[in-house]
């Protein structure tokens, strides 16, 4: 069974003579989830390109399974974010009775066999011809047959086998990685570390995260009112506040440099983890904000932070936030992780977050990059170029 979503769709140019049909999936989310957050994450950006590209003749966005009851409950919540189909852009949302996937490998295989059948029926009804598959889901890439498609690319933006939030599915992800490698599926990964863990036998490419130039062009917007109330110098971290963050190191930094105001912007996903930061007068927790406010906050701060612990998960990431910090022209203090090593001279690396203490003065002395330097970095790291590399694998 399917459910067609409705929301605003971007304009599409005339397809080129070489345009092909595409099938796209997120990892475990639906289109409405991406629309609600402003199409800001890497898979969202990739889909935005597919939606408007003249190289795409027809596009089908395949949502993951949802239960009938969940679909009914979310009908009102998702109303503003539903996909609005056009003659060449559509969505399929397979429905079932179960509320959650199983965790065992045979169960996962049955689920994705059934899901693929529903997606194929929808693709056939829309007239898609040997579509090229681009999926951010290792389970779709590993547990579907897709013999009716012309190619498949797995877009690996995280190492799911090392993500603590998905521990229950690690055996399934490990098996998916094995099948991706054995099948010759193409892999576009944000880091070499992910490529090394999957060991693909088919074509692969490291494609790090990027920048949307329009967000960062022009003069700096006014600082948000809440940021203006925090005295300078301000060191800002943008992202989910969870176990990736080295809270002990940040506490040490705040205590050693009391004049530095450490601003953490993003939802708190792990309350107990931030206990070392409680009560410190120069630690400021600010919740989730919209994209325009993120840009304004970064462009009006003095220093930016990649304050991650060194874990298998963080070692495999391409931290999107660092690209955005540099697009804002700000110096960056970062944990020494492979994907940010050698990225830019304005990224100062330290073995531990606690070691940021000795780098603060050097980073602040750098100041904001001049416009020529800032715009050059943006131009060299656009999402458009990244997506060209990903889709070349298809």
User: In order along the chain (394 residues), what is the average pLDDT of each group of 10 residues?
Assistant: 44 81 96 92 96 96 93 81 93 93 95 98 98 98 97 96 93 98 97 97 97 94 96 96 93 97 89 87 92 96 96 92 97 95 96 97 97 96 96 94
Q: pTM for the complete prediction?
A: 0.91
Indicate the residue among 156, 179, 207 that finishes a domain.
207
| Beta bridge partner(s), residue 155 | 188
* Per-residue confidence (pLDDT) for residue 12, from 0 to 100: 63
The phi and psi torsions of 208 (rounded to 5 degrees) equal -70, 175
pLDDT digits (tens, 9 = 90+) for 90-114: 999 999 999 889 999 999 999 999 9
Tell me, yes or no, whether 134 and 233 share the same domain: no
The C-alpha atoms of residue 228 and residue 296 are separated, in whole angstroms, by 11
Tell me, yes or no, whether 118 and 192 share the same domain: yes
The phi and psi torsions of 167 (rounded to 5 degrees) equal -55, -40
pLDDT digits (tens, 9 = 90+) for 155-199: 999 999 999 989 999 999 999 999 999 999 999 999 999 999 999
The enclosing domain of 48 has a CATH number of: 3.40.50
On the 0-12 / 13-18 / 19+ scale of CB atoms within 10 A, 365 is exposed
Tell me, yes or no, whether 287 and 363 share the same domain: yes
> From the CA atom positions of the chain, what is the Rg in Å?
22
Domain residue limits at 177: 20-207
Tell me, yes or no, whether 248 and 284 share the same domain: yes
Residue found by looking up tokens 């970095």 in the block? 377
The enclosing domain of 247 has a CATH number of: 3.40.50.2000
């Amino acid at each position: 069974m399917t459910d067609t979503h409705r929301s605003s769709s971007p304009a599409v140019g005339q397809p080129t003579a070489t345009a092909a049909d595409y099938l796209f999936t997120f990892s475990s989310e639906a289109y409405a989830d991406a629309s609600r957050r402003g199409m800001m994450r890497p898979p969202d950006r990739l889909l935005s390109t597919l939606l408007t590209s003249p190289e795409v003749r027809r596009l089908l966005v395949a949502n993951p399974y949802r239960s009938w009851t969940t679909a009914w409950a979310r009908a009102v919540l998702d109303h503003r974010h539903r996909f609005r189909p056009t003659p060449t852009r559509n969505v399929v949302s397979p429905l079932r009775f179960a509320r959650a996937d199983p965790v065992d490998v045979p169960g996962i295989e049955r689920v994705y066999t059934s899901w693929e059948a529903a997606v194929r029926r929808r693709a056939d009804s829309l007239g898609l011809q040997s579509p090229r598959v681009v999926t951010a889901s290792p389970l779709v890439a590993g547990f579907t047959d897709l013999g009716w498609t012309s190619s498949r690319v797995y877009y690996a933006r995280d190492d799911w086998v090392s993500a603590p939030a998905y521990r229950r599915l690690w055996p399934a992800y490990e098996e998916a990685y094995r099948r991706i490698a054995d099948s010759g599926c193409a892999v576009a990964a944000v880091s070499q570390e992910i490529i090394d863990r999957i060991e693909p036998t088919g074509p692969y490419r490291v494609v790090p995260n990027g920048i949307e130039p329009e967000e960062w062009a022009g003069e700096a917007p006014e600082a948000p009112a809440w940021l203006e109330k925090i005295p300078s110098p301000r060191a800002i971290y943008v992202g989910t506040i969870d176990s990736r963050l080295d809270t002990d190191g940040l506490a040490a930094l705040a205590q050693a440099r009391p004049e530095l105001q450490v601003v953490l912007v993003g939802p708190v996903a792990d309350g107990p983890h931030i206990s070392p930061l409680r009560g410190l007068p120069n630690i400021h927790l600010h919740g989730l904000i919209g994209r325009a406010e993120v840009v304004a906050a970064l462009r009006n701060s003095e220093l930016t932070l990649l304050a991650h612990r060194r874990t298998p998960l963080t070692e495999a990431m391409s931290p999107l936030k660092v690209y955005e910090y540099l697009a804002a022209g700000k110096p960056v203090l970062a944990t020494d992780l492979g994907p940010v090593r050698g990225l830019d001279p304005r990224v100062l690396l330290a073995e531990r977050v606690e070691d940021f203490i000795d780098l603060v003065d050097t980073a602040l002395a750098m100041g904001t990059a001049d416009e020529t330097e800032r715009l050059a970095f943006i131009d060299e790291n656009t999402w458009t170029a990244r997506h060209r590399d990903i889709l070349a694998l298809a």
